[in-house]
Amino acid sequence: MPPRLSNLTYNPPREPYTSIVHRDDDILVLDKPSGLLSVPGRDPALFDSLIMRVRETFPQAHLINRLDKDTSGIVLMGLNKKAHSFIGPQFESRTTKKSYTAIVWGHLAEDAGFIDLPLAGDADNKPLHRVDHDNGRPSQTEWRVVERLPMPATRVTLIPLTGRTHQLRVHMQSIGHPILGDKFYAAGDALAAADRLMLHAGELGIVHPNGQPMTFTVPCPF
Protein backbone atom coordinates (compact mmCIF):
# COMPACT_ATOMS: atom_id res chain seq x y z
CA MET A 1 0.00 0.00 0.00
CA PRO A 2 1.23 3.54 -0.72
CA PRO A 3 2.12 5.83 2.17
CA ARG A 4 -0.74 7.99 3.41
CA LEU A 5 -0.48 11.49 4.78
CA SER A 6 -1.16 11.72 8.50
CA ASN A 7 -0.66 14.19 11.29
CA LEU A 8 2.48 12.25 12.21
CA THR A 9 4.12 12.69 8.81
CA TYR A 10 2.91 16.19 7.90
CA ASN A 11 5.54 18.74 8.85
CA PRO A 12 5.41 21.47 6.19
CA PRO A 13 8.23 24.01 5.89
CA ARG A 14 7.69 27.30 7.68
CA GLU A 15 10.37 29.45 6.05
CA PRO A 16 9.49 31.23 3.92
CA TYR A 17 5.94 31.20 5.25
CA THR A 18 4.69 32.37 1.84
CA SER A 19 6.67 33.39 -1.22
CA ILE A 20 4.84 35.85 -3.48
CA VAL A 21 6.25 36.05 -7.01
CA HIS A 22 3.74 38.55 -8.38
CA ARG A 23 0.82 40.57 -7.01
CA ASP A 24 -1.62 42.94 -8.64
CA ASP A 25 -5.27 43.88 -8.15
CA ASP A 26 -6.49 40.62 -9.72
CA ILE A 27 -4.05 37.82 -9.04
CA LEU A 28 -1.37 36.44 -6.76
CA VAL A 29 1.40 34.20 -8.06
CA LEU A 30 3.16 32.14 -5.40
CA ASP A 31 6.11 29.77 -5.22
CA LYS A 32 4.86 26.80 -3.18
CA PRO A 33 7.54 24.77 -1.41
CA SER A 34 7.67 21.00 -1.53
CA GLY A 35 5.95 19.50 1.52
CA LEU A 36 3.12 22.04 1.84
CA LEU A 37 -0.46 21.19 0.89
CA SER A 38 -2.20 23.53 -1.55
CA VAL A 39 -5.48 23.15 0.37
CA PRO A 40 -6.29 21.79 3.84
CA GLY A 41 -6.77 18.08 4.37
CA ARG A 42 -9.81 16.61 6.12
CA ASP A 43 -7.84 15.91 9.29
CA PRO A 44 -7.58 19.11 11.38
CA ALA A 45 -3.86 18.37 11.72
CA LEU A 46 -3.61 19.00 7.96
CA PHE A 47 -5.09 22.49 8.12
CA ASP A 48 -1.79 24.24 7.37
CA SER A 49 -1.75 24.85 3.63
CA LEU A 50 -0.82 27.45 1.06
CA ILE A 51 -4.36 28.81 0.66
CA MET A 52 -4.90 29.16 4.43
CA ARG A 53 -1.56 30.93 4.86
CA VAL A 54 -2.35 33.34 2.04
CA ARG A 55 -5.84 34.06 3.40
CA GLU A 56 -4.32 35.40 6.60
CA THR A 57 -3.32 38.44 4.51
CA PHE A 58 -5.66 38.11 1.50
CA PRO A 59 -8.94 36.63 2.83
CA GLN A 60 -10.56 36.97 -0.60
CA ALA A 61 -7.98 34.75 -2.34
CA HIS A 62 -9.13 31.63 -4.21
CA LEU A 63 -6.97 28.96 -5.81
CA ILE A 64 -7.02 28.83 -9.59
CA ASN A 65 -4.59 25.91 -9.88
CA ARG A 66 -2.98 23.64 -7.33
CA LEU A 67 0.04 21.38 -6.99
CA ASP A 68 0.58 18.09 -5.19
CA LYS A 69 1.94 18.45 -1.68
CA ASP A 70 5.41 17.28 -2.69
CA THR A 71 5.63 19.28 -5.93
CA SER A 72 7.13 22.76 -5.66
CA GLY A 73 6.54 25.76 -7.87
CA ILE A 74 3.97 28.15 -9.27
CA VAL A 75 0.47 28.35 -7.82
CA LEU A 76 -1.95 31.00 -9.07
CA MET A 77 -4.71 32.60 -6.99
CA GLY A 78 -7.48 34.99 -7.94
CA LEU A 79 -8.22 38.01 -5.75
CA ASN A 80 -11.73 38.58 -7.12
CA LYS A 81 -14.46 36.68 -8.94
CA LYS A 82 -13.64 38.32 -12.26
CA ALA A 83 -10.07 37.05 -12.21
CA HIS A 84 -11.09 33.55 -11.14
CA SER A 85 -13.77 33.24 -13.82
CA PHE A 86 -11.47 34.67 -16.49
CA ILE A 87 -8.39 32.52 -15.82
CA GLY A 88 -9.99 29.29 -14.60
CA PRO A 89 -11.36 28.35 -18.05
CA GLN A 90 -7.88 28.76 -19.52
CA PHE A 91 -6.76 25.75 -17.47
CA GLU A 92 -9.89 23.81 -18.44
CA SER A 93 -9.42 24.54 -22.15
CA ARG A 94 -5.66 23.82 -21.96
CA THR A 95 -4.64 27.22 -23.29
CA THR A 96 -2.23 27.88 -20.42
CA LYS A 97 1.47 27.22 -20.97
CA LYS A 98 2.99 25.01 -18.28
CA SER A 99 6.53 23.72 -17.93
CA TYR A 100 8.05 21.56 -15.19
CA THR A 101 11.56 20.47 -14.30
CA ALA A 102 12.12 16.94 -13.00
CA ILE A 103 14.97 14.57 -12.31
CA VAL A 104 14.07 11.02 -13.29
CA TRP A 105 15.76 7.70 -12.69
CA GLY A 106 17.99 6.32 -15.42
CA HIS A 107 19.15 7.71 -18.74
CA LEU A 108 16.50 8.25 -21.38
CA ALA A 109 17.63 6.84 -24.71
CA GLU A 110 16.20 9.66 -26.81
CA ASP A 111 16.57 13.41 -26.39
CA ALA A 112 12.83 14.12 -26.52
CA GLY A 113 9.57 12.24 -26.60
CA PHE A 114 5.81 12.22 -26.27
CA ILE A 115 3.73 10.11 -23.90
CA ASP A 116 0.11 9.45 -24.82
CA LEU A 117 -1.32 7.13 -22.17
CA PRO A 118 -4.82 7.39 -20.62
CA LEU A 119 -4.96 7.75 -16.84
CA ALA A 120 -7.51 6.83 -14.19
CA GLY A 121 -7.68 6.64 -10.43
CA ASP A 122 -6.51 3.35 -8.93
CA ALA A 123 -9.54 2.27 -6.91
CA ASP A 124 -7.54 -0.37 -5.03
CA ASN A 125 -4.71 1.99 -4.10
CA LYS A 126 -6.13 5.44 -3.43
CA PRO A 127 -4.90 8.15 -3.92
CA LEU A 128 -2.73 6.63 -6.66
CA HIS A 129 -3.49 6.82 -10.38
CA ARG A 130 -2.51 4.42 -13.14
CA VAL A 131 -2.48 3.89 -16.88
CA ASP A 132 -5.90 2.50 -17.85
CA HIS A 133 -6.51 1.84 -21.54
CA ASP A 134 -10.16 0.86 -20.93
CA ASN A 135 -11.42 3.57 -18.59
CA GLY A 136 -8.70 6.21 -18.43
CA ARG A 137 -9.00 9.80 -19.60
CA PRO A 138 -6.77 10.93 -22.48
CA SER A 139 -3.46 12.25 -21.13
CA GLN A 140 -0.45 13.60 -23.01
CA THR A 141 2.97 14.75 -21.87
CA GLU A 142 5.93 16.07 -23.86
CA TRP A 143 9.42 15.60 -22.43
CA ARG A 144 12.91 16.64 -23.42
CA VAL A 145 16.30 15.92 -21.91
CA VAL A 146 18.16 18.81 -20.31
CA GLU A 147 21.11 16.89 -18.86
CA ARG A 148 22.10 13.27 -18.27
CA LEU A 149 23.51 12.90 -14.76
CA PRO A 150 25.93 10.25 -13.49
CA MET A 151 23.59 8.79 -10.82
CA PRO A 152 22.29 7.47 -13.31
CA ALA A 153 19.54 10.02 -13.64
CA THR A 154 18.30 12.59 -16.15
CA ARG A 155 17.16 16.17 -15.72
CA VAL A 156 14.18 16.75 -18.00
CA THR A 157 11.67 19.41 -18.96
CA LEU A 158 8.10 18.12 -18.82
CA ILE A 159 5.22 19.83 -20.60
CA PRO A 160 1.75 18.50 -19.72
CA LEU A 161 -0.70 18.93 -22.58
CA THR A 162 -3.50 17.72 -20.31
CA GLY A 163 -3.93 18.23 -16.58
CA ARG A 164 -4.69 14.88 -14.97
CA THR A 165 -3.95 14.13 -11.32
CA HIS A 166 -0.38 12.81 -10.91
CA GLN A 167 -0.03 12.90 -14.70
CA LEU A 168 3.69 13.63 -14.90
CA ARG A 169 4.51 11.22 -12.10
CA VAL A 170 2.57 8.32 -13.61
CA HIS A 171 3.68 8.98 -17.17
CA MET A 172 7.38 9.00 -16.30
CA GLN A 173 7.01 5.89 -14.15
CA SER A 174 5.13 4.15 -16.97
CA ILE A 175 8.08 4.52 -19.36
CA GLY A 176 10.52 3.20 -16.79
CA HIS A 177 11.88 6.52 -15.51
CA PRO A 178 10.13 7.43 -12.25
CA ILE A 179 10.78 10.82 -10.72
CA LEU A 180 13.37 10.65 -7.96
CA GLY A 181 12.01 10.72 -4.42
CA ASP A 182 8.44 9.89 -5.49
CA LYS A 183 6.88 8.11 -2.51
CA PHE A 184 3.95 6.95 -4.60
CA TYR A 185 5.48 5.83 -7.89
CA ALA A 186 9.21 5.22 -7.30
CA ALA A 187 10.86 2.37 -5.43
CA GLY A 188 14.31 1.17 -4.43
CA ASP A 189 17.20 3.34 -5.58
CA ALA A 190 14.91 5.79 -7.42
CA LEU A 191 13.00 6.48 -4.21
CA ALA A 192 16.08 6.67 -2.02
CA ALA A 193 17.98 8.95 -4.40
CA ALA A 194 16.30 12.17 -3.16
CA ASP A 195 14.76 13.38 0.09
CA ARG A 196 11.92 15.11 -1.78
CA LEU A 197 9.94 14.67 -4.98
CA MET A 198 12.18 16.08 -7.67
CA LEU A 199 9.40 17.83 -9.57
CA HIS A 200 9.05 21.61 -9.88
CA ALA A 201 6.46 23.74 -11.70
CA GLY A 202 8.80 26.41 -12.99
CA GLU A 203 6.86 28.29 -15.67
CA LEU A 204 3.23 29.27 -16.24
CA GLY A 205 1.81 31.37 -19.04
CA ILE A 206 -1.73 32.81 -18.93
CA VAL A 207 -3.78 35.64 -20.34
CA HIS A 208 -4.30 38.15 -17.52
CA PRO A 209 -7.82 39.51 -16.90
CA ASN A 210 -6.55 42.78 -18.41
CA GLY A 211 -6.16 40.91 -21.71
CA GLN A 212 -2.37 40.79 -21.71
CA PRO A 213 -0.42 37.52 -22.02
CA MET A 214 1.84 37.03 -18.99
CA THR A 215 4.45 34.39 -18.21
CA PHE A 216 5.70 33.72 -14.69
CA THR A 217 8.81 31.77 -13.76
CA VAL A 218 10.34 30.62 -10.48
CA PRO A 219 13.83 29.10 -10.18
CA CYS A 220 14.14 25.38 -9.69
CA PRO A 221 15.43 24.60 -6.17
CA PHE A 222 17.32 21.45 -7.22
Active site (catalytic) residues: 68
Cα separation of 179 and 99, whole Å? Answer: 15
- Other CB atoms closer than 10 Å to residue 196's CB: what's the count? 18
Biggest CA pair distance of the chain = 49
With beta carbons less than 8 A apart as the criterion, state whether 40 and 31 touch. no
User: What is the total residue count of the chain?
Assistant: 222
Bridge partners of 201, per DSSP, are 73, 100
